[in-house]
Amino acid sequence: MHLIKKQVSTKNGAGSITLRCDTPEDMWHTYNLISLSDEITTTTHRKIVKESATGSTSSSKVRITLKVLVEKIEFDDQAITMRIGGKNQRKSDHVSMNAYHTLELELNKNFTIEKDCWDTIFLDRVDTACNPSKNAEIAAVVMHHGLAHLCLITDYMTITRAKIEMSIPRKRAGNSTHGKQIVKFYEAIYQAILRHIDLKTVKVVLLASPGFVKDDFFTYLKTKSVRNNERSLIEQANRNKFVLCRSSSGHKHALDEVVGTKEVMSRLTDTKVAKDVDVLNLFMKMLDTDPDRAYYSFKHCLKANEHGAIDKLLVTDELFRSSDVKERKKYVQLVEAVRNSGGTINIFSVKHVSGNQLQQVSGVAVILRFPLYDVDDSESSSSCDSDNDSDSDSSDHSDDADADEKALKQLQKQAALMDEGWGASTNGGEGDQSRAEKIQDEMISMNFKDTQLVQEEEDDIDRDIHF
């Protein structure tokens, strides 16, 4: 990417930067630089309809320069184009103010981005994109019988250049259809490599598959290149760029298994992709072996930063594209705080498999210099307190229920005794009279016990109040 002009205030960060994209990866950088409410200035075409005096109309396209207040951003990573929609903010003879227009950003086309604040994340992205030293590029072909994906892996993107699907019948004795389809499948992959991979710029070509599919294809590639006299594939220097490795399938997500192997990592030591995969693997390993030094989610990372414990911060670029200014600002402040404390920042692209993995665990994670034990303990203690409160409440409720049940039984017994005593007293016999006196004495003793229990409870309450 070429930096044409830069006017950014050192006081509040407001200003504009004029850029030009030269490669597909530059378009991805531009997509991460543009936010809603920014103003984009570039040349565009507008269809103008004119009506003559006779009532006939004629249309023509006019090339004009417009400034659009960004309301919508669309990025096509396969066609490498970007469409930006919004209201016009510049006077023009053909487009009125605040009229809607869609700009299309392309390669080799100048454009200007105006922002209210160019924070450190935006400025670092510009410096990275405009750095003339290009890292190594990687090409990869993951395959199994009937399916293959040819991808170009840059520092920030994984671009699928070809997808080959073919129906291959099962291998049967006396039937040559299986072998013919395999040859046809290998030929399609061979032609895709010639069409999409430039061996002059690519340093490594990964061939990955389950079983021996990759070995059979590489043998076919060498034989076919000699037969067709393909100089780019015959040269030994280019053949040494091919690395055979194992993958579980021919689907695109299998690239994560390929890039993470030690054999491939040794060939990709100078690439950002390898460094990101290495850091992510370290974080995943520490989650199992040393969980007190590995945390994820913004709340836990912020707590670790307050202790100055962050050694490496892992964050995806998706979080910086949030339309909520406050949401983006809190992640920018976290990055600046970790950088000021001497930590390392690793920004993962969601266009890579490693970035997608990190996005699944909240998109932000940290590896600590020393273990922290109170990050989760505070939450667990509060949850334990709430559990204890609920347990005590439930025990109190159960005690109250038992007391209520006991009182109810006692009332029922008193009612039964009263009924029995009333029946005995109304009969008028001597035996019945003595029985009524016994029942009356028993009820008096029960009332005495109730009065004694109430007095004891009142004494306990008075004692608690006194203390």
The predicted-structure confidence for 369-383, as pLDDT tens digits, reads as follows 988 876 665 544 444
Strand 57-76 and strand 81-88: the pairing is antiparallel
The reply to whether the predicted model has a pTM over 0.75 is no
Per-residue pLDDT, 95: 84
Per-residue pLDDT, 147: 94
Per-residue pLDDT, 125: 86
Instruction: Report the chain (467 residues): mean pLDDT per 10 consecutive residues.
Output: 89 90 84 90 84 77 89 82 90 85 89 91 86 64 93 80 90 81 94 89 88 93 92 86 90 81 67 79 90 90 89 89 79 89 88 83 91 64 48 49 52 50 46 53 52 52 49
Per-residue pLDDT, 18: 93
Per-residue pLDDT, 178: 86
Per-residue pLDDT, 367: 93
Calculate the alpha carbon distances from 116 to 9, 11, 119, 296, 465 in Å: 10, 12, 10, 31, 64
Whole-angstrom distance, CA of residue 265 vs CA of residue 374: 36
Per-residue pLDDT, 202: 83
Tokens of residue 127, six digits: 């410096």
Tokens of residue 57, six digits: 């109309």
Per-residue pLDDT, 409: 53
Length of the chain, please?
467
Per-residue pLDDT, 375: 62
Residue 156: how many other CB atoms lie within 10 Å: 26
Nearest of 343, 376, 367, 359 to residue 286 by alpha carbon: 367
3-class DSSP assignment, residue 172: coil
Residue 299: how many other CB atoms lie within 10 Å: 13
Per-residue pLDDT, 42: 92
Per-residue pLDDT, 426: 42
- Interval 182-229: pLDDT, tens: 999 999 999 999 998 888 878 889 999 999 999 999 999 999 999 999
